[in-house]
Amino acid sequence: MEIVEVNQLVKTYGSKETQVHAVDHVNLVIKSREFVTIVGTSGSGKSTLLNLLGGLDRPTEGSVKIAGKNLEAMNEEELTIFRRRNVGFIFQNYNLVPVLSVYENIVLPIQLDGNKIDEPFVTSIIEVLGLSGKEDSLPSMLSGGQQQRVAIARALASKPAIVLADEPTGNLDSRTSQDVLGLLRTTAKKFNQTVIMITHNDQIAQLADRVIRIEDGKLAEIQVTGGDWA
């Protein structure tokens, strides 16, 4: 089943002589439970594409559908609610709330939406990510790798349709990066999540089911590496 459908997506900045097509007529379909990485040089448009997929930015032209819902048809309030319920975000700088504990950070999006916390589900995520015993710790008490695991747990806990990760290992050393990405792939499969991740590391990118290369705002290559898609 298609969870993401992108049709003739365009994002343009500037006008006339200074006009830049950050995303240039991109068509893309991503299936449920797929793990996809997006790679490209700096300024290639990969972060802009991810922001469009997550509804953090509005396209100049074209459409994005997530779980059958057209993001362009929503007003800002509807889009905010839709993102909170259907999209999990993992950022390079973790974006954890420093005064909240590990557990409180993980369940925060669920509480903001006024939903009941699925305690067994959250506990299972915490266990899989190796955070058991850290639930009451503050982010400042954790290593970078542990903080990133908390960010992954938070993204998964609300059971979103897709998880979007923007260079989630950019601040981590090589070994920790491999560990975190391996855990992200494992948890995505275990909890039936679809993951779309930006990375500059080709070795890490190969962990995905598909690698999508973008250059100058256009899809330059799609490589099937294995997993459910192959």
Structure confidence by residue, pLDDT tens digits, 152-186: 899 988 888 899 998 887 777 777 777 777 777 87
Which DSSP string do the residues of 194-220 spell out, in sequence order?
Answer: EEEEE-S-HHHHTTSSEEEEEETTEEE
How would residue 230 be classed by pLDDT, with cut points 50, 70 and 90? very low
Higher pLDDT among residues 76 and 221, named by residue: 76
Strand order from edge to edge, sheet including 87-91:
87-91, 162-166, 194-198, 35-39, 210-215, 218-224
Q: pLDDT per residue over 97-118, tens digit each?
A: 999 999 999 999 999 888 899 9
What is the domain partition of the chain in residue ranges? 34-58+75-224
Please give the CATH topology (third level) of the domain spanning 34-58+75-224.
Rossmann fold (3.40.50)
The structure's pTM equals 0.86
